[in-house]
Amino acid sequence: MIKNNRKSADHFCIICGQWIGNHDTGATPYGKKSYYSIIRAKYCDECRPMIIDQQMNIRLHNLRQRQKYERRELKEKLSLTQEENELLRKRVMQLNALVYGSKD
């Protein structure tokens, strides 16, 4: 029972499986750490920079995709606005011709 509890207090890197600490004793390969920093840790010191890099790349990729989508949407809106503007301009000309043209 006690042995099982001890075992579950150990934490391992979810990438390489390296032991990264025990939240009961506070022991880690890098010295004593707090209970919370051990239960929060998911990666060892070798894997963490790689994961942060990957997450940064994913965020950048998502940001670029979003910007691309937004640019496309803006371009479409602009095109529709130009089309509407052109139709309204023609309508104004028609109405002008109707109002002023009929006097001639």
Residue (9 or 47) nearer to Zn ion, CB:
47
* Listed ranges 13-21, 23-31, 49-57, 96-104: which one lies at the site for Zn ion (CB under 5 A): 13-21
What span, in angstroms and rounded, lies between the C-alpha atoms of 7 and 2? 9
Question: Shortest CA distance to 3 belongs to which of 24, 26, 32?
Answer: 24
Contact between 15 and Zn ion (CB under 5 A)?
A: yes
One-letter amino acid of 24: D
Task: Considering only the C-alpha atoms of the chain, give the largest distance between any 2 of them, rounded to a whole number of Å.
Answer: 105
| Between 52 and 80, CB nearer to Zn ion | 52
Interacting residue ranges for Zn ion, rule: CB under 5 A: 13, 15-16, 18, 44, 47
